[in-house]
């Protein structure tokens, strides 16, 4: 089943975007024959209580065939309670975290505790290595992405699948040895727009079997990721679009 692992609904507060509701997302997917996706709420990223945004989204996704990735901020004091409330209130399929937005590293005790909880539930974790256009730092100040901290976390072995979202093309290549060492690690395509031959580069780095489709729509233009399938062999495109992480 063709899947988008990095998609959102809701208003992006810093730049005007259209088609920001679930119907708009689904129309974009149907146009490009994407059958499902792991959807998250942009509101939940910025709310001090992420559960409220996640609950609103759960109501919209019910019966749609789409999967929900709930947003977690481990630095808030009620993370365990939010997960418990989600468990008791609606069905969800993955967790999504934003270390550059919420200001922590991968060796922060709160993140380590969250990772343990996610592993116990055997649910994937989507880690955003950046969030939106970093040139907008006068509007959204993000903590610099710590490659060494991420390497140490991944090298320790992930007990549940991890999808690295919004990772720059160069960082993927630099971390190729670490990324290829664990079958539970995957990479999305949302930041491949910075290279004209990203999938060729992934193949050269022996990372092509790690790539999943994710466009970071509606924050980024959908075609900025999808265009990288142009001129690529159908079997490679289908492998990426249909790749399962669990």
CATH number at residue 144: 3.20.20.140
Report whether pLDDT(195) > 90.
Answer: no
Average pLDDT value for residue range 54-78: 95
- Average the pLDDT over each of 10-19, 63-72, 168-177 and give the range with the smallest value: 10-19
Confidence of residue 136 (pLDDT cuts 50, 70, 90): low
pLDDT of residue 222: 94
Number of domains in the chain: 1
Instruction: Summarize the confidence of residues 105-119 as an average pLDDT.
Output: 94
The whole-number pLDDT of residue 140 equals 67
Q: Is residue 158, in this structure, part of any structural domain at all?
A: yes
Which of 18-22, 71-75, 180-184, 223-227 comes out lowest in average pLDDT?
Answer: 18-22
pLDDT at 139: 59
Average pLDDT, the chain: 91
Q: How sure is the predictor about 155, in pLDDT bands with cuts at 50, 70 and 90?
A: confident
The contacts of residue 201 (CB under 8 Å, 6+ apart) are 169, 173, 195
Looking at residue 146, its pLDDT comes to 83
Give the pLDDT of residue 137.
60
Q: Is residue 246 part of a domain?
A: no
Domain that holds residue 71: 3-241
Q: Which residue has the higher pLDDT, 34 or 101?
A: 34
Better-scored residue on pLDDT, 219 or 241: 241
Question: What is the pTM (predicted TM-score) of this model?
Answer: 0.94
Per-residue pLDDT tens for 67-109?
A: 999 999 999 988 899 899 999 999 999 999 999 999 999 999 9
Under 8 Å between Cβ of 243 and 186: yes
134: pLDDT strictly greater than 70: no
What integer is the mean pLDDT of 46-52?
85
Residue 49 has a pLDDT of 85
The answer to the question of residue 116 being in a domain is: yes
Q: Is 164 within the bounds of a domain?
A: yes
pLDDT recorded at residue 132: 75
């Amino acid at each position: 089943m063709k899947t988008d692992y990095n998609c959102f609904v809701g208003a992006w507060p810093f730049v005007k975007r259209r088609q920001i509701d679930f119907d708009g997302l689904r129309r974009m997917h149907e146009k490009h024959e994407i059958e499902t996706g792991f959807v998250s709420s942009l509101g939940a990223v910025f709310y001090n209580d992420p559960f409220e945004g996640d609950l609103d989204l759960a109501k919209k996704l019910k019966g749609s065939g789409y999967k929900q990735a709930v947003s977690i901020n481990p630095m808030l004091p009620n993370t365990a309670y939010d997960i418990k409330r989600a468990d008791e209130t609606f069905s969800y399929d993955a967790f999504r975290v934003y270390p550059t937005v919420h200001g922590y590293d991968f060796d922060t005790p709160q993140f380590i505790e969250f990772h343990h909880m996610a592993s116990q539930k055997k649910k994937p974790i989507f880690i955003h290595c950046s969030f939106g256009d970093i040139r907008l730092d006068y509007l959204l100040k993000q903590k610099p992405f710590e490659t060494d901290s991420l390497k140490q976390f991944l090298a320790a072995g992930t007990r549940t699948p991890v999808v690295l979202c919004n990772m720059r093309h160069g960082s993927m290549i630099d971390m190729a040895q670490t990324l290829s060492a664990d079958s539970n690690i995957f990479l999305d395509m949302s930041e491949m727009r910075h290279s004209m031959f990203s999938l060729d580069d992934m193949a050269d780095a022996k990372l092509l079997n790690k790539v999943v489709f994710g466009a970071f729509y509606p924050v980024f233009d959908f075609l900025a990721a999808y265009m990288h399938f142009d001129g690529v062999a159908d079997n490679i495109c289908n492998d990426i679009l249909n790749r399962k992480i669990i």
